[in-house]
Amino acid sequence: MDPVLLFQINPSSGLPIYRQLMDQVRTLIGAGRLTEGDMVPSVRQIAEGLQINPMTVSKAWSLLERDGVLERVRGQGMRVLAAAKVRGTVKERQQTLQPLLEQVVAQAAQLSLSREQVLAAMAAALKELPGE
Amino acid sequence: MTQKIIQMCHVTKAFGTKVVLDGLNFNLQRGTVTGLLGKNGAGKTTLLKCALGLQTPQSGIITVFGEPARDLSAATKAKLAYVPQEVTLYPWMKIRQIVAYSRAFYPRWNDSLIERLMKDWELGVEERVGTLSTGQMQKLSILLALGHEPELLVLDEPVASLDPSARRQFLATLLEIAISGDRTILFSTHITSDLERVADHVVVLKSGKIVYHDELSALKDSVKRLRIINARALPATMRDLPGVLHWESTDANAVLSVDNFSPELPERLSREWQAEVTVEDLNLEEIFLELHHG
Amino acid sequence: MDNYTQVLMTYLTRKWVALYAGGSLLVMLISAVWSFIDPGKTLISPVPLYFVFALQFLAMHLKQQMALPQAHLVPGYRRPHLTIGFLWLTCPLLLVGFDAWNRDVSIVGAIVITFYVWLTYFHINVWPHRVAIAALVFAIAAIFIPHLRAVVFDIILGREPILAWSLFSAEAAAVVLLFHHLATLTEDDPDYGKVAAMNPWDLRPATTRTQNRAAMLKSGRFTETLYAAASRRLDRITRVPAKNFWQRVALYRMSGDWPTNWWVAIAIIACLELLVVKQAASRILTEQSFRQTAMIPLSVSTGLTLATWFTVFRRWGRLGYESLRPATRRQWVLGNAAAILIRVGQIQIVWLLLQAAVLLIYFPEFQLSPVLLETFGCWLGWQILIFGVSAWIASFASYALKMISMGAMLGLMWTGWIPLGLLNAEQGRTLWQITAVATGAIGLGMCAVAYRRWCRIDFA
């Protein structure tokens, strides 16, 4: 898989590159573009393909391994773990969403949207999620 | 194998009455790509020159690969390379001759790498060095530094005269070196976007001291801007709060930047000040500005 | 008036220039007062010539100040600078006039001749132009061509008033033109950025030098032939990596801005040798006058060595970079010292052979005399001294300091002429012997001092 097609990294963003990679891996898994058993590109491939520092890729990959999203396969690289084995309680996973939710709420307040209008928009977006 | 390629301990360097480095401590880890950031005149060049033994500090100890920087052995010098900010190379030599000349000093030299880079960077072998533009001269000095595949590469504002495409090519080459492993790179720049792309560690030099030296990602994780809206218990002054770099406030609203961000901070402040708190991620340029406020 | 003091302050920031300029003005003042007390026999005092070196730097400084964007953007910038420049260029002439009056020669004549020399230097530094170079060549010719020399003396003696006054008008016109040129320098002018390097942080001279070199190197066939031999040598010695000290020395020898072309070097030395031949052809020498005559080839030899060191001084900006190549600091210092010694040695050997030839042809009676040995001893001691002092001077950053010390060493050599006129043969011999030993010893001492300093210095 060509890293350039999979990931879009902005080095000048306020979000560290490793976080961008981690978020995007999770998004790809969520969107079904990466499924259990898929091999993700190696650190070297990503670094060369996206022209970023390999240490940041390494960090992302290690943290994803720690979180149980990826697993290391000897001699071959990193592989996507089954979605069900994603570690963490529901509460913990909800915590991960929290910052994004706060942004949505703040933005909604600026746009003068009511609670019902926000929830309706959320429901429409959720329809995109696989498994709905 | 030494993990600390360069070690600087309590280094003070002054020129006349002007103190440029003030009791500075700095350790460069093996295998990192480290960017040195600082305002013009902050002492970046002096730091690099002292690190390599080209200038002597009034006090302090500096070692490179474990040897005192003032008295490096030939073997150690063969492991390092320095690209100064400005160097006028021998104008009468042709490019192929200056490459051969540099090569003659080193026990090891990668001819195929140099050939490839000369082609990629469009440096003609038969051109005389004296006829090159500033950008080409800069490319040439970088190229000469890469030929002997140094374990430590020190560059002072390496891309100052390069156009954007040349800069990209150079950064790509730097990454190649970083990827090929076990090479350490230290470069000074004030182009933060280049640093973000290529470096994994950042050193910020301010008033002769190092005010930050850690992973770039950690810096971006810990320096953030918070927007406080509709606060009902806003403190009169935020100066004493730990970690605050800069703040502005009116009656119920405020903007402050902190260097000790953690995920619970917004929630805690929201409770303490009974306000809405949003977090803004800052890129390196903005972080640099926040660190230099006031 | 505040402006004027500010402008004066800019001169004082150039420590060495201000020092030397002040010093040579003081010497001129003393000499003028001395000639009032005791006129002496010469027509014109040689002292104003020492002012020329200071003038060179003052001119460079003035041009540099006028070539800044401030010059035509800041109101009231130009006038103080130009006024003060005009003052230091012309006021010392009053001293020359006073000196001439004491010696009973034509005031206008003396002023006109001295000013010619000063103006030529000023012109070259402020506006490098064919006219200036022609004037300089003419001046040098006037020293050696007896017919022209006679005209110069006539002017000084007041016998050619018309010529003197025409020269005066020409010089006045030149001054007006030069100052007008300075006042109207803008970036469109090709000379705008061509200022001499006065301090390591002024980047314009570096850019200008690069452009000049580029222009020169692009002239194709000529440069190819000029560098061909050095090119071949370079290709030969870089074929294999340098493994020992002497192989590195071979590489250091090629690290100048321009390589030596032996034909050019020999041609220059031969031309200079003509001076010696001229002197030799017409003389019958006693022991003492041999010593006096020998000052000419000795001066030539000194000049050649200093010119060689000049190319070393130019490398200052690069030295830090070069010192990081695989070699310890000591090896690098000794290696470069050896390289310079070889270069100086090669040129001096050519010079020595030519002197031997002149001796054989014109003064066979002096071949094996002790005078020759003493002269040789002096020459050797003096060369060692120059080497030591130059090696030491080269380790300082200030370009101005280097230039001034070169001038000072030449000056020191010329002042050696003076005692010779006062001594008899016996005293001359003693003086020569003492000089040989003293200069040699001091020279070796300076070499040691220089070596220790080089092992410690900070690079730019």
Q: Residues A56, A22: one domain? A: yes
What is the token pair recorded at A90?
């529901």
**A29 and A82 Cβ atoms separated by less than 8 Å:** no
Min Cα distance A94 → chain B (Å) is 14
Q: What is the mean pLDDT of residues C43-69?
A: 77
ipTM of the shown complex: 0.89
**C198 and C399 Cβ atoms separated by less than 8 Å:** yes
Phi, psi of B34, rounded to the nearest 5 degrees: -110, 130
- In this prediction, residue A89 has a pLDDT band, given cuts at 50, 70 and 90, of low
Helix axes C245-252, C329-362, angle to 10 degrees: 70
- C345 pLDDT more than 60: yes
Query: Chains B and C: how many Cβ contacts under 8 Å?
Result: 111
Find the CB nearest A14 among B198, B199, B282: B282
Q: Is the CB of C256 inside 8 Å of chain B's CB atoms?
A: yes
> Strand A77-80 relative to strand A39-40: parallel, antiparallel, unpaired?
antiparallel
Give whole-number Cα distances, C44 to B64, C104, C109, C112, C157, in Å.
Answer: 62, 10, 10, 12, 10
Residues of B with CB under 8 A from a CB of A: 32-33, 168, 171-172, 175-176, 178-179, 192-193, 196-200, 215-217, 220-221, 224, 263, 266, 276, 278-286
Q: Residues A49, A72: one domain? A: yes
pLDDT of residue C21: 80
Q: Residues A10, A54: one domain? A: yes
Q: Residues B73, B212: one domain? A: yes
Q: Contacts of residue B52 in chain C, CB cutoff 8 Å?
A: 324
Can chain B be said to touch chain C, i.e. do they have 3 or more Cβ pairs within 8 angstroms?
A: yes
pLDDT of residue C418: 63
pLDDT of residue B141: 93
Higher pLDDT, C85 or C186: C85
Q: Is the CB of C329 inside 8 Å of chain B's CB atoms?
A: yes
Q: Residues A19, A37: one domain? A: yes
Structural domain harbouring A105? 90-126
Contact B200 A44 (CB under 8 A): no
- In this prediction, residue C225 has a pLDDT band, given cuts at 50, 70 and 90, of confident
Q: What is the mean pLDDT of residues A47-68?
A: 90
Q: Contacts of residue B193 in chain A, CB cutoff 8 Å?
A: 11-12
Q: Residues A103, A77: one domain? A: no
pLDDT of residue A6: 83
Task: Round to whole Å and give the CA distance between B154 and B266.
Answer: 40
pLDDT of residue C341: 94
Q: Residues B210, B76: one domain? A: yes
Which segment of A86-95, C34-43, C87-96, C306-315 scores lowest on mean pLDDT? A86-95
Q: At B285, which CATH number?
A: 3.30.70
Give the chain A residue nearest B219 (alpha carbons): A16
Which percentage of chain C shows pLDDT scores above 70? 86
Min Cα distance B49 → chain C (Å) is 9
Task: Round to whole Å and give the CA distance between B289 and C385.
Answer: 56
pLDDT of residue C193: 61
Q: Residues B99, B139: one domain? A: yes
Task: Round to whole Å and give the CA distance between B267 and B272.
Answer: 9
pLDDT of residue B123: 92
- A34 pLDDT more than 60: yes
- In this prediction, residue C219 has a pLDDT band, given cuts at 50, 70 and 90, of low
Window 129-168 of B: residues touching C by CB (8 A cutoff) are 130-132, 134
In a domain, A63, yes or no: yes
> Strand B80-83 relative to strand B152-156: parallel, antiparallel, unpaired?
parallel
Phi, psi of B181, rounded to the nearest 5 degrees: 90, 145
Contact B54 C323 (CB under 8 A): yes
pLDDT, tens digit (0-9, with 9 covering 90-100), for C358-411: 888 877 777 777 778 888 888 899 899 999 999 999 998 887 788 888 888 877
Q: Residues A20, A80: one domain? A: yes
Per DSSP, helices labelled H in chain A are 3-6, 17-31, 43-50, 54-66, 90-110, 115-126
Selected for mutation to probe chain C from B50, B87, B92 (highest C CB count within 10 Å) is B92
Q: Residues B260, B280: one domain? A: yes
Structural domain harbouring B228? 223-291
Under-50 pLDDT residues of chain B: none
- Residue B278's DSSP bridge partners are B227
Q: Residues A33, A54: one domain? A: yes
Contact A14 B220 (CB under 8 A): yes
- Mean pLDDT for all residues in chain C: 81
- In this prediction, residue C1 has a pLDDT band, given cuts at 50, 70 and 90, of low
Q: Contacts of residue B125 in chain C, CB cutoff 8 Å?
A: none
Task: Round to whole Å and give the CA distance between C176 and B165.
Answer: 50
Q: Residues A26, A52: one domain? A: yes
In a domain, A47, yes or no: yes
Min Cα distance A55 → chain B (Å) is 7
Q: At A50, which CATH number?
A: 1.10.10.10
> Strand B244-249 relative to strand B254-258: parallel, antiparallel, unpaired?
antiparallel
In a domain, A49, yes or no: yes
Which segment of B285-294, C154-163, C170-179 scores lowest on mean pLDDT? C154-163
Can chain A be said to touch chain B, i.e. do they have 3 or more Cβ pairs within 8 angstroms?
A: yes
Structural domains of chain B, count: 2
pLDDT, tens digit (0-9, with 9 covering 90-100), for C97-153: 888 888 777 888 888 888 888 888 888 877 777 777 788 778 777 777 777 778 888
pLDDT of residue C216: 59
Q: Residues A37, A19: one domain? A: yes
Window 37-56 of B: residues touching C by CB (8 A cutoff) are 49, 52, 54-56
Selected for mutation to probe chain B from A4, A9, A10, A12 (highest B CB count within 10 Å) is A12
Among B146, B27, B25, which residue's Cα sits nearest to residue B80?
Answer: B146
Q: Residues B253, B122: one domain? A: no
Buried b (16+ CB within 10 A) or exposed e, C161-185: eeebeebbeebeebbeebbebbeeb
Contact C328 B100 (CB under 8 A): no
Give the chain C residue nearest B130 (alpha carbons): C214
pLDDT of residue A109: 85
Q: Residues B247, B281: one domain? A: yes
Window 37-96 of A: residues touching B by CB (8 A cutoff) are 44, 47-48, 51-56, 59
Considering B186, B219, B252, which residue would you say is the last residue of a domain?
B219
- In this prediction, residue C80 has a pLDDT band, given cuts at 50, 70 and 90, of confident
Task: Round to whole Å and give the CA distance between B130 and C257.
Answer: 9
Structural domains of chain A, count: 2
Q: Residues A63, A96: one domain? A: no
pLDDT of residue C25: 82
pLDDT of residue A132: 47
Higher pLDDT, C9 or C196: C9
Give the type of residue at C243.
Answer: K
Q: What is the mean pLDDT of residues A30-47?
A: 85
Which segment of B1-10, C33-42, C254-263 scores lowest on mean pLDDT? C33-42
- In this prediction, residue C208 has a pLDDT band, given cuts at 50, 70 and 90, of low
Highest mean pLDDT among B178-182, C312-316, C327-331, C350-354: C327-331
Highest mean pLDDT among C98-107, C193-202, C270-279: C98-107
Selected for mutation to probe chain B from A19, A55, A98, A103 (highest B CB count within 10 Å) is A55
Q: Is the CB of B125 inside 8 Å of chain C's CB atoms?
A: no
